[in-house]
A and B are shown apart, each in its own frame.
Chain A
Amino acid sequence: GAVVSQHPSWVICKSGTSVKIECRSLDFQATTMFWYRQFPKQSLMLMATSNEGSKATYEQGVEKDKFLINHASLTLSTLTVTSAHPEDSSFYICSSRQGETQYFGPGTRLLVL
């Protein structure tokens, strides 16, 4: 199956700082990538759909100014959590779709102190 990588795998930051998470599709070109958030013991919540060369589509209730998404190339999408607060602490997972199948990155654990 397709390979999707994420960097970093862990990040700890102070409240008020911004954090950037990278998502790369390693063996195929992805015009669309997806960003999910997962709270402990819960399922994945789709935050936004990242579109190469155009604006991301955000799900209802997700602040676009808080979670900035950039999809500058066919292999890279980034999620920037701006002015992070402790409630933004979570597990963030990206994915890319090849045909009908979604392939997921390994996730990024964010802890905001």
Chain B
Amino acid sequence: DVKVTQSSRYLVKRTGEKVFLECVQDMDHENMFWYRQDPGLGLRLIYFSYDVKMKEKGDIPEGYSVSREKKERFSLILESASTNQTSMYLCASSMPEQHYGYTFGSGTRLTVV
């Protein structure tokens, strides 16, 4: 069964910490995405990548960076975590121009205290 795996289901970090959220897919997909989901706001795109070492800003990139050193792995980095980054983070992957191929991970619920 094809999968997008997020490294942690729940994470608690302190304000100011550097936080890494890892995502790995086993489908050889070119595209990978990071979303955050908050009550009443739906899913919002943070960053996406359409190839190794390539990245594009989504709708809310401020306070985040990403890394895509290998095709299967896409990391989201919070350089200095803040309480307003407490959220559910969802990773997804897809083949290019085949939107029905979007596969999401189960999510990481991050709490910044």
- On whether the two chains bind one another, the answer is no
Residue numbers of A with Cβ under 8 A of B are none
Residue numbers of B with Cβ under 8 A of A are none
